Amino acid sequence: MKLNATQAVNWMIKTNEKIQKQSDYLSQLDRDIGDGDHGINMARGFQAVEDTLSNEEFAEVSDVLKKTATTIMSKVGGAAGPLYGTAFQKMAMTSKGTEVDSETFSNMVEAAVEGLKQRGKSEEGEKTMIDVWSPLHDALKETSEFDGEKIREIAHSSMESTKDMVATKGRAAYLKERSKGHLDPGSVSSYYVFEALSETLEKG
């Protein structure tokens, strides 16, 4: 199983669909432990991604992800903008000139995790989107299958695991213990990214 450029565009369009639909929910999650704008930020950014991608032709996955990265970078702002921008940028760089099979995708996510950690000066377990991306990479490197449902499941359980964490990075960190019991908004939006990927892969 491989991901081609058309699928990559579909992946982003599907992601946008989900983000638009869940925008209020994401903002509500951010209101609980942040400043209440995560849904708005993501909706603004991914709408722009869809608008840009729809108007262009892409030779390879890398080009799609690069366009996605720069669009997010200049439309989202806040913490999520540089983070998602960096993650997609790293995935674009890692996939440049190659087919995107299971192994490449594992390398792409690895690079994204590295990028997120560096940009966010953060680690696993700090109740951020890294807690979705990093466990996903751990799982990907153990398998040679490009299994959409598996990706969705791991992203889902990782997202849920942020609920019990205490935030030490990002805005939620100011709440300390009070941040416990709430899902991390960036992890939930990251879950939508991988849910969209899973659906794209399954549709073929």
Partner 1 sequence: MKKLINDSNDIISEMLEGIVSAYPDSMRQVEGTTCIVRKDAPVKNKVAVVSGGGSGHEPAHAGFVGKGMLDAAVAGEVFTSPTPDQVLEGIKATDDGSGVLLVIKNYTGDVMNYEMAAELAESEGINVEQVVVNDDVAVEDSSFTTGRRGVAGTVFVHKLAGAKAEAGGSLAEVKGVADNVIANVRSMGVALSPCIMPTTGEPGFELAEDEVEMGVGIHGEPGIETKKLTSADDIAEELTENVLPELELNASDEVAVMVNGMGATPEMELYVFNRKVQTILADKGIKVHETIVGEYMTSLEMAGCSLTVLKLDDELKELLDAPSKAPAFRK
**113, 121 Cβ separation under 8 angstroms:** no
Determine which helix (DSSP H) or strand (DSSP E) holds 165, and give its type and residue range.
Answer: none
Out of ligand ADP, partner 1, Mg ion, none, what residue 129 binds, judged by CB under 5 to 8 A for its kind, is ligand ADP
Task: Using the structure block, give the residue that is written with the tokens 């799609």.
Answer: 64
Out of ligand ADP, Mg ion, partner 1, none, what residue 82 binds, judged by CB under 5 to 8 A for its kind, is partner 1
For residue 110, the one-letter residue type is E
Between 66 and 95, how does the x/- string for binding to Mg ion read (CB under 5 A)? ------------x-----------------
* Residue 77, helix vs strand vs coil: coil
- Find the length of the chain: 204
CB of 147 to partner 1, least distance (A): 33
The distance of Cα 67 from the centroid of its chain, to the nearest Å, equals 15
Out of ligand ADP, Mg ion, partner 1, none, what residue 130 binds, judged by CB under 5 to 8 A for its kind, is ligand ADP
The distance of Cα 16 from the centroid of its chain, to the nearest Å, equals 11
Residues that bind partner 1 (CB under 8 A): 24, 27-28, 31, 34-37, 39-41, 44, 73-83, 119-120, 168-171, 173-176, 178
Which of 18, 77, 60 has its CA nearest to residue 198? 18
For ligand ADP, the binding residues (CB under 6 A) are 30, 34-35, 37-38, 41, 78-80, 83, 116, 120-122, 128-130, 169-171, 184-187
